[in-house]
Structure 1
Amino acid sequence: MRAVQVTGYGDVEKLELVEKPIPEPKSNEVLIKIKACAINNTEIWMREGAYGTDSKSGWKPEGVQFPRVPGSDITGCVVKAGSQINESMIGKDVVLFPFTSSGEEGSEHISEDMSFIGSEYDGGYAEYVVWPADLCYHMPLPDYIESAVFSVSGLTAWHMVEQIEAAPNETIMVTGANGGVGSLNVQIASKVFGAKVIAIVGDLALEKRMKELGAAHVLSYKSNHLADEILEVNGGPIDSVLDVVGDALFSTSLQVLKPGGKFCISGSAGGQKTNLDFRTLYLKHITLFGSVLGTRSEFKQMLEAISEGKIKPVIERTFPLEKAREAQTYFKNAGKLGKIILLPEEQ
């Protein structure tokens, strides 16, 4: 099969298109013919060494082992079943829950042995992948491409909204609102949990589309008076922040939060380190949440909400598998809206 491998830490030149054997499913696994794989920051930051270039670079103590096939947002069709798996699974269209874990229900994502597809296991930048059968779920939509945009970004967003306990009478600010996680934060917070959302983007040309996703107000982080604008459109301080940016908007976020407000972060595309005056936290009684992925129960809730039409796929564009370098480069461009998808075969 064709696959794209990361050969080490570095730029997109570390992505190489190779031929390798189709993997054989273990007794508890199925072999999936991949139809679509969405790109996430995760595999780019892993390649770039943003998580570290040693034992800190992956989810396991030994770090990422190269070469590795990245990609964790995967849809496809089951074409072979392991010896313990009922062959009725063959022919099923599935979406993959993106990690394995021995953690108890509700804490799978914080288990010490949590291992991520595309980091600890070969992932979706390929024509085939093997994965445990019990971590393969029915696609929420009939289209492979549309169903591929939710696994990591959607699970991350759903868990973030759950953590801040979003409620219909609250206002939530979403940073990076035009990205994969951000656009889903907007939808989930507004259309599933009923909160009022202030979406922060770079280009206000996206305002109409952000409001279609559920945003009540759309503001630009490029404004020199962003904090004042947030307070003005909300008529006062906000209840919570869902952040994927990090340093660039951290001080603004704390400034506009009400006393007792909540700040949840799952990414740091705008800076991984920040200056923090602890007095801001304790004098305003602010609660901070760190968030990565979520639980299998939340994944199932998310898939149900997608199938009911409450959450819709937001797709920027697709690339063929062999254009993985170009796709990852395009992914990092500012101003896009939604997910970038790799396709192993022509649709």
Structure 2
Amino acid sequence: MFAAYAARFDDADPLSALETGDVPDPTPPDGWVVVDIVASALNHHDLWSLRGVGLAAEQLPMILGCDAAGRDPEGNEVVVYSVVADPESGKTSILSEKFPGTLAQKVAVPRSSLVPKPAELSFAEAACLPTAWLTAYRMLVSCGQVTAGSSVLVQGAGGGVATAAVAIGTALGATVYATSRDASKRERAEKLGAIPLESGARVPKRVDCVIETVGEATFDHSLKSLKPGGRLVVSGATSGHLPRVDLRRVFFLDISILGTSMGSAEELAALMELCARTGLRPIIDSTFPLSRARDAFAHLQSGDVFGKVVLENDL
């Protein structure tokens, strides 16, 4: 089968470590099945893998990718939940960390990792959900307790999780503010239903919840933007992971700082139900055929992306 995989590591030039071509078809262990992939989606996690983060040399070559939608052996339309347990040790990881990933024509996963795809969602749309969108859903609903009438600040609009949070928060009926240094990304966030703000700008009213994926550069602003009893939910730190924190604000205002990553298969099913019921759809920046996976990676690395980069199996 055709796949995109890490053949080596290169921190300075990750694309030089990417190879595409034929690899052996997956052989599933007991309790696992092979899914024929129709569409998959890229994440920045894939670029980090090419840099050698989270992988060891003895694991190479490693097929990249966490997200996919396709058909199971019975022909059912499914979405792949990417957190899997090692059949031997029981330890969990996401696809492409220990087990081959989804940027291929086929992937082997536990049957329990298959979530039915709603008919209302295309394969490309569904493939965008299991990582960034699931993380954003968990941040807002499970951790942030956001409901209709809540207020939310999303830092760094344009990133995969942040863009998803804007769209999901709006679909939930919340008032959503979104920050970005980039005027075009603020404009796009506004079209998704957010009130756009320049990075660091004062929020008109303090909010119930802040969605934080930027880290050091925005963390102080996030704390100052919360009303008493507010929740700051963190799932990333693209600008640095050691922010200065005024603990007096945290305890005097009863602020909760919550960390999370990904979500459960049940939350993925709930997210897809929300999409089917409300018309919410993931934002797709661009679509490439699987045979042009290298071009898709180059586009992702350029940073000129708003939403998800999708690969569709053309082979």
Deviations for 1:10-29, whole angstroms, at most 9, x for unmatched residues? 21111111322111333422
Match for residue 65 of structure 1?
Answer: 59
Matched, 1:158 2:133: no
Counterpart residue type for residue 125 of structure 2: E
Match for residue 8 of structure 2?
Answer: 8
* Range moving further from structure 2, 288-297 or 131-140: 131-140
- Determine the C-alpha separation between the residues in 1 that align with 2:198 and 2:160: 17
5+ residue gaps, structure 2: none
Residue 8 of structure 1 and its aligned partner are, at CA, apart by 3.5
Counterpart residue type for residue 159 of structure 2: G
Match for residue 190 of structure 1?
Answer: 170
Match for residue 152 of structure 2?
Answer: 172
Match for residue 227 of structure 1?
Answer: 201
Match for residue 214 of structure 2?
Answer: 245
* Range moving further from structure 2, 120-129 or 40-49: 40-49
- Determine the C-alpha separation between the residues in 2 that align with 1:99 and 1:219: 35
- Determine the C-alpha separation between the residues in 2 that align with 1:328 and 1:339: 12
Question: 1:32 is paired with a residue of what secondary structure?
Answer: strand
Matches within 5 A, 1:35-114: 35-49=38-52, 52=53, 57=54, 65-78=59-72, 80=73, 90-101=74-85, 113-114=91-92
Match for residue 326 of structure 1?
Answer: 295
- Residues 237 and 258 in structure 1, CA contact (< 8 A), matched pair in contact too: yes
Match for residue 337 of structure 1?
Answer: 306
Instruction: Provide closer, same or farther for how the CA distance between residues 45 and 273 of structure 1 changes in structure 2, counting only shifts above 3 A.
Output: farther
Instruction: Provide closer, same or farther for how the CA distance between residues 254 and 333 of structure 1 changes in structure 2, counting only shifts above 3 A.
Output: farther
Aligned-pair identity in percent equals 29
- Determine the C-alpha separation between the residues in 2 that align with 1:265 and 1:64: 32
Match 1:211 to one of 185, 190, 194: 190
Instruction: Provide closer, same or farther for how the CA distance between residues 270 and 333 of structure 1 changes in structure 2, counting only shifts above 3 A.
Output: farther
- Determine the C-alpha separation between the residues in 1 that align with 2:113 and 2:289: 26
Matched, 1:20 2:4: no
5+ residue gaps, structure 1: 81-89, 103-110
What TM-score comes out, normalization by structure 1 length?
0.81
Question: 1:26 is paired with a residue of what secondary structure?
Answer: coil
Residue 75 of structure 1 and its aligned partner are, at CA, apart by 1.0
- Determine the C-alpha separation between the residues in 1 that align with 2:256 and 2:249: 11
Match for residue 120 of structure 1?
Answer: 98
Instruction: Provide closer, same or farther for how the CA distance between residues 165 and 64 of structure 1 changes in structure 2, counting only shifts above 3 A.
Output: farther
- Determine the C-alpha separation between the residues in 2 that align with 1:309 and 1:272: 35
- Determine the C-alpha separation between the residues in 2 that align with 1:112 and 1:131: 14
Counterpart residue type for residue 46 of structure 2: E
- Determine the C-alpha separation between the residues in 1 that align with 2:252 and 2:8: 45
- Residues 320 and 345 in structure 1, CA contact (< 8 A), matched pair in contact too: yes
